[in-house]
Amino acid sequence: MLTAAIAFIPFLTCLFWLVLNPLVRKPDRQSRTLELLLAVTGTVSIAQAAVYYSTGTALLVFFMIKQFFTPLLVPAALLYVSHLNPAITWKPYIPAWLGVPIALIFAESVLLMLSGTEGFTGAVSNTAGADDKVAYLINLCSFSIFYTFLALQVTVWIILAIARLIKGKHHIQMLNCTVLILAVAALEASAITGMPQWMGTVISVITASIIFITSYTGIFKSKAVIRMPETEKPREIREQPHESGAIIADAHQNMADEENLRIRFEDLIVTEQLFLKQGIRISDIATMLETNRTYVSRLVNNTYNMSFSDYMNTLRIDYAEQYLMHHKDAKQSDIAEACGFPNASAFNNVFKKITGVTPKVWLATRS
């Protein structure tokens, strides 16, 4: 009984942080993707535990849930890390990870209809049930192909994490996710290899501990995630002396540097109205601030919860609204040029996207 209760600890840990996260963090892409990662991890952990202690129809239900959600752990971690660091561009590859588990679930569903509930559960639990050919196909999809794909996922993730580490772009959440993925994989391995119950209990406790640390870091430490190479750091940070053992002092200094960068950024963009300059790029701003585009991108995302281009367009539309009120008869092309847009079409599209209406409709409602 105690062993069964401990097996559900990873799920309860995920549930705890899923409830706490919205209470301590304002809704943004980072917190939402962390919740997605926790939801997938929690679903996988409870399904694994339930499969081990269930029989009959319950076994079938939880087995299918485990089969579908386990391969989603790596894509969820990819999405989470991508939202934490705009410089990591893995998002286009994330949908590609979904093809295999969807295909496997479809194949298993077909085999379930052919074999029936008893036949399917008999095949996956190595008891009497389905005939030899159907049982072979069930085992092929549910174990051979499934675990081969899972191993490939974990391997690719580790390679990507090592590659980032070698480049010097250390990401603490990436390391946390790596350990979490390995822990869940170990939990899965303990369920299929017939490990002693005490060993499965130890793995469950370790997994719950890792989930706790990962979630705590993600919620309370998510802004301090990038360690750039010395050559890519802002000049004022590179020139600071670093003494051994001064980790806390460096952390406070980095916070001060980030605040200083934010003030200089807003002075440049808002006070000097650089957002009105056509074709201004994030790399141009980074050069003016004597830093790099990654730092500027992270600053905008963390401060305004939007991308650099969205932030610039928001400022331009705010300015355009004031411009329209004082130049009601101006041509669309003149308004676009005055507000930093390349042409009238681009101005109209962005204006409608942000305000929900065209410039003419907006102005008509305020006449």
The range of the structural domain enclosing residue 82 comes to 2-227
Domain boundary among 194, 227, 260: 227
Residues 58 and 174 reside in one and the same domain: yes
| 71 and 150 Cβ atoms separated by less than 8 Å | yes
111 close to 67: Cβ distance less than 8 angstroms: no
Q: Is residue 232 part of a domain?
A: no
The total of other beta-carbon atoms located within 10 Å of residue 130's CB is 23
Beta bridge partners of 226: 171
Task: Report the domain count for the chain.
Answer: 2
Residue 183 CB burial class (10 angstroms; 0-12, 13-18, ≥19): buried
> Is 248 within 8 Å of 289 (Cβ atoms)?
no
| 136 in the same domain as 186 | yes
Q: Name the one residue in this structure whose structure tokens are 């009105």.
A: 276
Does residue 234 lie within any of the structural domains?
Answer: no
Say if 65 falls within a structural domain: yes
CA dist 143 and 7 (Å) reads 22
Residue 311: give its domain's CATH number: 1.10.10.60
Distance CA 19, CA 111 (A): 38
Residue 324 within any structural domain of the chain: yes
Judgement on whether residues 189 and 265 belong to the same structural domain of the protein:
no
262 and 205 in a common domain: no
pTM of the predicted protein model = 0.57
307 in a structural domain: yes
Same domain, 160 and 198: yes
Please tell me whether residues 78 and 159 are part of one structural domain.
Answer: yes
* Ordered per-residue pLDDT tens for the chain, 367 residues: 676 788 888 889 999 988 888 887 767 677 788 888 889 999 988 888 888 777 778 888 888 898 888 888 888 888 887 776 655 555 556 677 778 788 888 888 888 888 888 888 887 776 655 567 888 888 888 888 888 888 888 898 888 888 777 765 556 777 788 888 888 888 777 766 666 777 778 888 888 888 888 888 777 765 433 333 344 344 443 444 444 444 443 444 455 567 777 888 888 888 888 888 888 888 888 888 877 788 888 888 888 888 888 899 999 998 998 888 888 888 888 889 889 998 989 999 999 888 888 888 888 877 6
Distances (CA, A) of 264 to 167, 228, 259, 339, 361: 29, 21, 9, 22, 36
Residue 296 lies in a domain: yes
Q: Which tokens go with 172?
A: 């603490």
Is there a domain that residue 245 lies in?
A: no
Same domain, yes or no: 332 and 199: no
Sequence-ordered alpha helix ranges (H) in 167-246: 172-192, 197-220, 235-238
170 strand-pairing partners:
227
Phi, psi of 333 (to 5 degrees): -65, -35
Instruction: Specify if 44 maps to a domain.
Output: yes
Residue 104 and residue 24 share a domain: yes
